[in-house]
Amino acid sequence: MEPILVVLTGWWWIAPAAVGAGAATYAGLTTRTRRARRLELDAARHEESLAYRALVAAKARVRTAQADVLSAKSRGAAAAATPAADARRELQAAKQGEKSASLELRASRSRVKAGYSQYRAAASGTPLPIDRLSAVHDAVNARWLSYETDVDKALAFPQMTDTRHPATVVFLRAQREALVRRPLLRDRVTPEQFAEYRVAVRALETALLDAERQAGVHGAPAGSPAVASTAATISAAATALADLAERLPSLLSRVQSPRESEPPADRAP
């Protein structure tokens, strides 16, 4: 009995420490999951803050332009005709910028409300915002990669992989930007990173749609591609993305370094 009492006296603190560590770990995981689920809402609030600051700056620009107009008028019409006209044009541009900033703020507030409703309605099994956005990114890459891997598409629409075509160059640059903005650790994504990544993915979608339209692809999607909902589709998209990461440097080098065999633009062949 005495050895047991000695052990209990020396190691009594292990049980409370284990309970405390377990509680801290559970709280950390719960907080991280909650933060990941409200990532889209936090990103919308971040965009709202940026839009508000832009509106304040636009209002300050309008006041400055108004002061410049009054200053130009005070100097006399004959002596300051050109400066007065420039000041009026600046005032019109400032008012237009203020109107655009006001509309952007209203749109950002609508996105905040939509994000809050979506966050409240999300179930435990609903994919995280970063997973949904990554799935859209993978779907766009997989759709473009099909123009290289599918022989029929490659022959029917060679422009989609021609790095000399302006629309393809724009798409490849948007593709590189989206890859750079893609978070590596999804559980540590900040609202700012999510917002930048979302902008890059939207630009990538727009660039692909524009490239398909210029290439004459029939039945090209008119809007955003659907989010991959099955495990097989996500796995295929991930494989396509890995293949794309290997092909992208060579494609970009071909875009940045024109072929030596091509004659200069100002000379006839």
Per-residue HEC secondary structure of 197-229 comes to HHHHHHHHHHHHHHHHHHHCCCCCCCCCCCCCC
Could you give the angle at the alpha carbon of 120 between the alpha carbons of 129 and 48, nearest 5°? 65
Predicted confidence (pLDDT) at residue 98 exceeds the cutoff of 50:
yes
* 174's tokens: 């948007």
Mean pLDDT over 82-91 rounds to 84
Q: Who contacts 215 (Cβ-Cβ below 8 Å, separation ≥6)?
A: 157, 159, 160, 167
Residue 118, pLDDT score: 82
CA atoms of 124 and 227, how far apart (whole Å)? 18
Predicted confidence (pLDDT) at residue 34 exceeds the cutoff of 70:
yes
Could you report the per-residue pLDDT of 178-188, keeping only the tens digit for each? 999 998 877 78
Residue that the structure tokens 């409200």 belong to? 38
Residue that the structure tokens 């936090």 belong to? 42
Could you report the per-residue pLDDT of 195-227, keeping only the tens digit for each? 999 999 999 999 999 999 998 887 655 444 443
Residue 224, pLDDT score: 42
Helices (H), 75-230: 81-121, 129-149, 151-156, 166-181, 191-215
CA atoms of 51 and 66, how far apart (whole Å)? 23
Mean pLDDT over 164-176 rounds to 93
Predicted confidence (pLDDT) at residue 173 exceeds the cutoff of 60:
yes
Residue 27, pLDDT score: 38
Q: How many CA atoms lie within 13 A of 237 on its CB side?
A: 22
Q: How many CA atoms lie within 13 A of 210 on its CB side?
A: 15
* 150's tokens: 């599918």
Residue 40, pLDDT score: 86
Could you give the angle at the alpha carbon of 179 between the alpha carbons of 173 and 182, nearest 5°? 140
The mean predicted confidence, pLDDT, of the chain is 77
Residue 71, pLDDT score: 84
Could you report the per-residue pLDDT of 110-163, keeping only the tens digit for each? 989 988 888 888 777 788 889 999 999 999 999 999 998 988 888 888 888 888
* 106's tokens: 């209203």
Predicted confidence (pLDDT) at residue 12 exceeds the cutoff of 90:
no
